[in-house]
């Protein structure tokens, strides 16, 4: 950590600052320049990162030298994390996430009813998707909108999983539901609005199921990795991070899908990175081009919404792909994956 | 609701759309212009607001005519909500929020220890603050940072409340803690990161304590009022909304305090509006000027952090005011409150 | 245009509004719903788009039905614009922009000296780039930074163009320089900071050279197309629009490259769309992945910075590719272009 | 300047870096910590601020210690700049900007015709405004909107100035017009869209008239002061900076007025700070509350739009105040100015 002093900082202030930092168990290195005196902190700065150094008299600014996350960093773990989702049925193939193959997760936004869920599971699996997504508990901006089927939806998910033999990813919104959902789901999803619901992060961190963590609408990449760090630090090392669009001034799309998050995260962290172009754009004709872009940029997986009849969807219809559009996209994805040296 | 059709929409598509809307129990009004056909939906559009109209073939865009919130709107309730916090001790004065008097809430960011809490309660009360703020459960970006004293902190809050006789506002982060915290606190705080933690909103909505709801870093004013609507629709009519800074590209401040949210909300809603210039700026010398600005713009209350020794604060030290700076601010606030026809 | 009236709008106000609109030469259609009265404006709303309808008593909100641009729209011109840059030397091949082939523009940020410019022209051409980019006039945030070689740089550009036989694109920043630069350049570039320098747009609109128009840091896609409309409406139909990153809260990249702008613009406009991943990310290791993403999403061209020795570059060194990295990227681009049915 | 090396930086890279910096005429100070080696640059870092240090092998990140502006900084000039606008008519009072008195600038958005301009000049002056604002050259998003009366408008401005005896502020958009406009205007305005039109900044920097420089929609405070530095470094020391709203995700207002820019700039710079709540909100009922907030936060001046008949305004009608609303606002402003120890 580097502490820049004010031009008018007194010797007494320098002494007080040095003493304070020593009191926290670190050593200092004072450098007097022509314009400013600068204090370098020697030792693991993470120990004092949350200390209010800016509040100490004479301090002008404080600059961190190290990233605030540790377990999530490529510096800590140079080999990439690979997550293995066991086969649901005996004899089935497991799914590997974070390896050479790009993994596609697809399904309806919500579990709406049993039949549709079974239909969609078969459609997306037939087209090459490896996991089924569908929400039983739904975060909705309006209290008057469909809130998900809840426990009934979870039951349908368990049934489709067992019968069709496809692993399931579904969202958990409440610390009280973690255990119940972890009994059904192969991967637990933390939604964008809960990226900094720290109690929920701790709860899934203590769970033995992989977690897909979505970036918040105003979440920086550093904060996304810090939220992953919450899960990792509780002992759960199977975390996937997912870019799903950030909020900007642009109104042509529901969110601005930050594709550059993919190479940025891959340079900083060993965790697999997914992209969700459905929420990332909010408009179905943009989903396929942005899925292709994500894979071209190096994404480890894609998560998209598919619905047999978007105009009757109970949530997020405008961004859902029709089965036939999804099938076309899968073919194009395969070509792009190959072009960048991966498989689908 | 207004539905604009694509230029190339067919008669069949128009017919299908009209039939679909009727199927949802509303009537339509078709207007054929020179450039576009437009369908107006007659009836309470809130019933179909979450229907995926954009997914219906032939539709170009959909425009809402009404605001999505109802109970929170000034149209629904023209008189302003006033919340009465009863006196803590017999013979004490109750606090009214939303009336002519501007209410100041102050205190340390976190409950750090018993003594400091008692000191601060007396200091801020002596300077004219009406409620004490302090967090027992703290949302922190890093899992390695101080996470609050938890239940122990809550006990200190109960003690200071009883002995000093000042009402308490403290944050609730987990649905499992609502009941426990509601037994101690006079007002429950929902933090910015939980503005769209819908299960938590429902839980405090079923509670009989007033709620202060903070705006999320990427929360629009409309979404803030929709989150208030969640609480209101569960039966709790005592909601205060609080502007505390939004996330923008500007780096000189921790957040960009959107003072214009105050007059915007007052034109849309009957709920009291507070402003938190401590989190809104993140830099203590900006707190007083922004508190004055908030009151000048019509805020019903101000919430600020005060600490006896910011450089040793366990959280958010750089934005905490020293007691003497707080006392000076209170005097200036009084002058500005008077200038806009209010009291402190 | 749709005008939503306030719930308490009087009959007199309705009458006044209808009369006002008729006074502007359009007709109206009044629809009285259960919650609001709505007035539809019949006729070409572009005629009254800049009228201050919101300022008329009784009006709650105004919604546009049509896009504000006309000449730039796909509705106006359904066939895609193709721009032909003639061969510089007799016997050379012309370059087509907006056709099936993806066009790569490359070169140093600034013209720094004659030799380096010639070297880079040969390097990028050898690797398959079709046009050379390099700035003679440079917009710099600081008055103390290198401002470009100016007229001298322009002379070098003319020389490299003639000798190497590669067409040139260079930036124009001042209305006074348009003619001079148009004598040398094959394409005039309008930089992001000048996207709404309307006098400059008009000046290049009266010029007979194609224009590459970059999106502003806070420019919406609609505003970008409106700025293109300025150029088109002056008679110059050869406009390329270029996504180069928008400003958001994210700090890991210099800007947030909005790849979704590519499919959005292609659905709205017939103009060719380029992407500049160098300015869009500001960090050279992100340039290649984002260039691949842009082509996967449908971009008609890519513009990147290449420098023989980035650490000595006079501007934007951190985002420049070394020649060998550029050559590797070109190979990968070719594979991705093929995967999406295009050539390079 | 502080240079943080990568963990795997070699001794050779350290040596190369040190040699490179010495080659630029500065000295270095190498500090080897437990996690990273850090190089401090001794000397005036402004000399190497635009060097591409991040492009040098082994460098992880570069942190500036000093602000990039010098002439604009309070460190360079501790006393606040006061600008004196001489009386227009003999015997009239000069206007001082940057002193204890808050200065109000008002008038119509555009010069629409001679009579209205004269009326408004008298109205705003009668209510206490010190300068008249009105645009002759108008930057408009659409080429089809009213573009201002141009030279004819300038003539009316000269007439109203001479006859009513009120100083004039008007916008200059083109380097070719600077001289002509400087002959009429008492203050030249640089609009938000031209904040980084560097040639225009240089041109007004060589002019002997005060300049009001507006913040760009995506302009950081640091960039605003850097643009002021352009003007100052050309020799013109009379610069006012003006906050007028930044672009964010919030849609309830046209822009988000960043009131905190006022105290931030006053802590960094000696230049007077104005606030424009008309453009900052875009909605007239928000103008007065935000003007009061700006003065409470320490603004040196306020700039607002007033129109006798907003519904017929040729530009920006929805944000214009009626004369009587303006007069009421002036009374409230006076009370708030007094409350913060200033006059109007």
**pLDDT digits 0-9 by tens, A123-177:** 999 999 999 999 999 999 999 999 999 999 999 999 999 999 999 999 999 999 9
Q: Would residue A58 be called left, alpha or beta, if left means φ above 0 and alpha means ψ between -120 and 50 degrees? A: left
Closest to A247 (Cβ–Cβ): which among B218, B283, B317? Answer: B218
Distance from CA of D188 to the nearest CA of A (A): 30
Question: Measured between alpha carbons, how far is C297 from C300 in angstroms, rounded to an integer?
Answer: 10
Please give, rounded to a whole number of angstroms, the shortest distance from the CA of C48 to a CA of chain A.
22
Query: Residue B263 has which token pair?
Result: 């007059």
- In this prediction, residue D323 carries a pLDDT of 97
Helix runs in B165-310, H state only: 178-184, 198-205, 221-233, 261-268, 277-281, 284-296
Q: What is the pLDDT along chain B (344 residues), one digit of tens a residue?
A: 889 999 899 999 999 999 999 988 888 888 888 788 889 888 777 778 878 888 898 999 888 888 999 999 999 999 999 999 999 999 889 999 999 999 999 999 999 999 999 999 999 999 999 999 999 999 999 999 999 999 999 999 999 999 999 999 999 999 999 999 999 999 999 999 999 999 999 999 999 999 999 999 999 999 999 999 999 999 999 999 999 999 999 999 999 999 999 999 999 999 999 999 999 999 999 999 999 999 999 999 999 999 999 988 888 888 999 999 999 999 999 999 999 999 99
Q: Which residue has the tokens 């840059």?
A: C85
Contacts of residue B76 in chain A, CB cutoff 8 Å? none
Indicate if the pLDDT at residue A41 is higher than 90: no
The residue to which tokens 């006393």 are assigned: D79
Residue reference for tokens 């190498």: D30
Most confident stretch, B52-66, D43-57, D271-285: D271-285
Give the span between the Cα atoms of D158 and D137, in whole angstroms.
14
As a whole number, mean pLDDT of residues C169-181 equals 97
Contact by Cβ (8 Å): D270, D243: no
Assess contact for D76 and D32: CB atoms under 8 A.
Answer: no
Residue D151 and residue A232: Cα distance in Å, rounded? 67
The residue in chain C having the minimum alpha-carbon distance to the alpha carbon of residue A280 is C260
Partner C contacted by B4 (CB < 8 A)? yes
The C-alpha R_g of chain A, in whole angstroms, comes to 23
Q: How far is CA A141 from CA B70, B190, B229, in A?
A: 14, 16, 10
pLDDT, residue D42, reads: 82
Mean pLDDT (whole number) for D18-40: 88
> Does C225 have pLDDT greater than 80?
yes
| 3-state secondary structure (DSSP) of residue D272 | coil
- Mean pLDDT of all residues in D94-114: 97
Q: Is there a contact between B321 and B284 (Cβ–Cβ < 8 Å)?
A: yes
Q: How far apart are CA A58 and CA A40, in angstroms?
A: 15
- pLDDT of D43 reads 78
Neighbours of chain C (3+ CB pairs under 8 A): A, B, D
Quote the CA–CA distance of A73 and B264 in Å, as a whole number.
43
CA max distance for chain C: 76
Q: For residue range A100-119, list pLDDT tens digits in order.
A: 999 999 999 999 999 999 99
Closest among C237, C138, C233, C152 to C194, alpha carbons compared? C138
Dihedral of CA C333/C339/C340/C341: which sign?
positive
Tell me: pLDDT of A48 over 90. no
pLDDT above 90: residue A49: no
Percentage of residues in chain D with pLDDT exceeding 70? 100
pLDDT-based confidence at residue D65 (cuts at 50, 70, 90): confident
Q: Where are the alpha helices (DSSP H) in D26-168?
A: 114-126, 151-164
CB atoms within 10 A of CB C113: 14
Average pLDDT, chain C: 95
d(CA B177, CA B179): 6
- Which residues of chain B have a CB within 8 Å of the CB of C247? 249
**What pLDDT does residue A218 have?**
97
Q: For B56, how many CA atoms within 13 A lie in the half-sphere containing its CB?
A: 22
- pLDDT tier at C35, thresholds 50, 70, 90: confident
Pairing relationship of beta strands D131-133 and D168-171 according to DSSP bridges = parallel
Q: Hey, is the C-beta of A74 within 8 angstroms of any chain C C-beta?
A: no
Tens of pLDDT, residues D179-230 = 999 999 999 999 999 999 999 999 999 999 999 999 999 999 999 999 999 9
For the stretch C64-77, pLDDT in tens is 888 999 999 999 99
pLDDT above 90 (res D24)? no
| CA separation, residue D163 to residues A329, B325, D113 (Å) | 70, 50, 16
DSSP letter at B31? E
CA gap C106, C323 in Å, rounded:
10
Instruction: Report whether C290 contacts C281 (CB < 8 A).
Output: yes
Chain A closest-CA separation from residue D268 CA (Å): 12
pLDDT at C17: 92
Residues A284-315 have pLDDT tens digits of: 999 999 999 999 999 999 999 999 999 888 88
- Residue C99 pLDDT: 97
Domains and CATH numbers, chain A: 2-63 (3.30.70.1140), 83-339 (3.20.20.70)
Q: D202, C173 in Cβ contact below 8 A?
A: no
D293:B289 CB<8 A: no
Whether the CA torsion D69, D73, D76, D77 is positive or negative: it is: positive
- C34 pLDDT higher than 90: no
Q: Report d(CA A290, CA A284) in Å as an integer.
A: 10
Structural tokens at position B183? 């037994």
- For chain B, list the strands marked E by DSSP: 2-5, 27-32, 37-42, 59-63, 83-85, 95-97, 103-107, 131-133, 168-171, 187-190, 211-214, 239-243, 273-275, 301-305
Tokens of B47: 């019933």
Q: Name which of A20, A112, A198, A244 to mutate to probe chain B: the one with the most chain B Cβ atoms within 10 A of its Cβ.
A: A198
Nearest to C313 among D52, D314, D318 (CB): D52
The tens digit of pLDDT for each residue in D295-341 reads 999 999 999 999 999 988 888 889 999 999 999 999 999 999 999 99
pLDDT, residue C195, reads 98
Cα–Cα distance for residue pair B202/D149, rounded to 1 Å: 57
Helices (H) and strands (E) in chain B, counts: 10, 14
Query: Does C47 score more than 80 pLDDT?
Result: no
Please give, rounded to a whole number of angstroms, the shortest distance from the CA of A190 to a CA of chain D: 23
Closest chain D residue to B294, measured at CA: D293
> How many helices (DSSP H) and strands (DSSP E) are in chain C?
10, 14
Within 8 A of A221 by CB-CB distance, chain B residues are: none
User: Complex ipTM above 0.90?
Assistant: yes
- For helices D261-268 and D221-233, what crossing angle results, to 10°? 50
Q: pLDDT tens across A232-287, in order?
A: 999 999 999 999 999 999 999 999 999 999 999 999 999 999 999 999 999 999 99
Which of B3, B19, B55 is the mutation pick for testing A, counting most A CBs within 10 A? B55
Round to whole Å and give the CA distance between D169 and D146: 20
Answer whether residue C44 shows pLDDT above 80.
Answer: no
Which pTM was predicted? 0.96
Q: Are C241 and C213 in contact (CB under 8 A)?
A: yes
pLDDT in tens, D242-252: 999 999 999 99
Q: What is the pLDDT of residue B42?
A: 82
Give the Å distances, CA to CA, from D47 to A53, C76, C143, C289, D67: 29, 52, 12, 33, 12
Beta bridge partners of D110: D135
For D14, phi and psi rounded to 5 degrees?
A: -60, -45
Say if residues D59 and D3 touch (Cβ distance below 8 Å): yes
Please give the Cα distance from A80 to D214 (Å, whole number): 48
- CA angle centred on B48, ends B46 and B51, rounded to 5°: 135
pLDDT at A65: 85
Partner C contacted by A332 (CB < 8 A)? yes
Partners of residue C38 in chain B, C-beta under 8 Å = 2, 40, 65
Predicted local confidence at residue A43, as pLDDT: 78
| pLDDT above 90 as % of chain C | 81
Q: Write out the H or E segment, with its range, that includes residue D301.
A: strand D301-305
Q: Are A111 and A168 in contact (CB under 8 A)?
A: no
């Amino acid at each position: 950590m580097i502490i820049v002093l004010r031009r008018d900082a007194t010797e007494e202030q320098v002494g007080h600052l040095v003493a304070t930092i020593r009191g926290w168990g670190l050593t200092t290195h004072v450098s007097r320049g022509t314009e400013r005196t600068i204090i370098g902190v020697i030792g693991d700065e993470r120990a004092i990162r949350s200390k209010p150094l800016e509040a100490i008299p004479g301090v002008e600014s404080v600059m961190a030298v190290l990233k605030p996350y540790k377990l999530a960093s490529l510096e800590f773990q140079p080999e990439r994390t690979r997550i293995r989702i066991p086969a649901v049925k005996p004899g089935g193939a497991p799914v590997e996430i974070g390896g050479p193959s790009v993994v596609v997760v697809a399904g309806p936004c919500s579990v709406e009813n049993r039949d549709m869920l079974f239909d969609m599971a078969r459609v997306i699996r037939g087209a090459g998707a490896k996991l089924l997504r569908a929400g039983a508990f739904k975060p909705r901006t309006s209290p008057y909108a469909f809130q998900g089927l809840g426990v009934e939806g979870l039951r349908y998910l368990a049934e489709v999983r067992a019968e069709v033999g496809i692993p399931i990813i579904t969202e958990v919104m409440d610390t009280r539901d973690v255990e119940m959902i972890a009994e059904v789901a192969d991967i637990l999803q933390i939604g964008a609005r809960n990226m900094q619901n720290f109690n929920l992060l701790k709860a899934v961190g203590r769970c033995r199921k992989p977690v897909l963590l979505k970036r918040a609408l105003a979440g920086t990449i550093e904060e996304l990795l810090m939220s992953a760090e919450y899960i990792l630090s509780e002992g759960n090392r199977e975390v996937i991070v997912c870019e799903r669009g950030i909020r900007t001034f642009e109104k042509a799309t529901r969110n601005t899908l930050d594709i550059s998050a993919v190479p940025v995260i891959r340079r900083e962290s060993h965790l697999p990175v997914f992209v969700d172009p459905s929420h990332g754009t909010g408009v179905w004709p943009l989903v396929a081009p942005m899925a292709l872009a994500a894979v071209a940029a190096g994404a480890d997986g894609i998560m998209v919404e598919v619905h047999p009849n978007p105009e009757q969807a109970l949530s997020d219809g405008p961004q859902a792909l029709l089965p036939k559009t999804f099938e076309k996209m899968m073919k194009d994805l395969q070509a792009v994956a190959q072009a960048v040296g991966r498989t689908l």
